[in-house]
Amino acid sequence: MTEPLDAIFSALADPTRRAILSMLLIDDMAVTDVAAPFKMSLAAISKHLGILADAGIIARERRGRVVWCKLDPDALRAASVWMQGFGQFETLDLDAFEAFLDGSLADPENQSA
Amino acid sequence: MTEPLDAIFSALADPTRRAILSMLLIDDMAVTDVAAPFKMSLAAISKHLGILADAGIIARERRGRVVWCKLDPDALRAASVWMQGFGQFETLDLDAFEAFLDGSLADPENQSA
DNA sequence: TCCATATTCAACCATTTGGTTGACGATTGC
DNA sequence: GCAATCGTCAACCAAATGGTTGAATATGGA
A/B interface, count of CB pairs below 8 Å: 122
Beta-carbon separation of B71 and A89 below 8 A: no
Residue A84 has pLDDT above 70, yes or no: yes
* Among the listed residues A39, A38, A68, the one whose alpha carbon sits nearest the alpha carbon of residue A53: A68
Residue B8 DSSP one-character state: H
Report whether B8 contacts B78 (CB < 8 A).
yes
pLDDT of residue A97: 45
SS3 A34: helix
> For residue A52, what are the CA distances in angstroms to B22, B52, B65, B90?
26, 24, 44, 24
- CA atoms of B82 and B20, how far apart (whole Å): 23
pLDDT of residue A100: 45
pLDDT of residue B40: 97
* Among the listed residues A97, A50, A55, A33, the one whose alpha carbon sits nearest the alpha carbon of residue B86: A55
Radius of gyration of chain B (CA): 16
Query: Which of B1, B5, B9, B40 should be substituted to probe chain A, the one whose Cβ sees the most A Cβ atoms within 10 Å?
Result: B9
Residue A89 has pLDDT above 60, yes or no: no
pLDDT of residue B1: 56
Beta-carbon separation of B80 and A91 below 8 A: no
Query: Which of A2, A3, A9, A102 should be substituted to probe chain B, the one whose Cβ sees the most B Cβ atoms within 10 Å?
Result: A9
Report whether B49 contacts B60 (CB < 8 A).
yes
Q: What is the mean pLDDT, run by run of 10 residues, along chain B of 113 residues?
A: 86 96 92 97 98 97 97 84 66 49 42 37
pLDDT of residue B87: 63
What is the tens place of the pLDDT at every residue in B26-53? 899 999 999 999 999 999 999 999 999 9
Beta-carbon separation of B105 and A10 below 8 A: no
Question: Is the torsion defined by CA of A32, A33, A35, A41 positive or negative?
Answer: positive
pLDDT of residue A112: 37
**β pairing state of A66-71 and A29-30:** antiparallel
Residue nearest to nucleotide C20 (CA to C1'): A41
pLDDT of residue A91: 46
**Top-confidence residue, A20 or A108:** A20
pLDDT of residue A75: 84
Report whether B22 contacts A101 (CB < 8 A).
yes
What is the tens place of the pLDDT at every residue in A19-59? 999 999 889 999 999 999 999 999 999 999 999 999 999 99
For B72-112, give the secondary structure using H, E and C: CCCHHHHHHHHHHCCCCCCCCCHHHHHHHHHHHCCCHHHCC
Nucleotide nearest to A30 (CA to C1'): D6
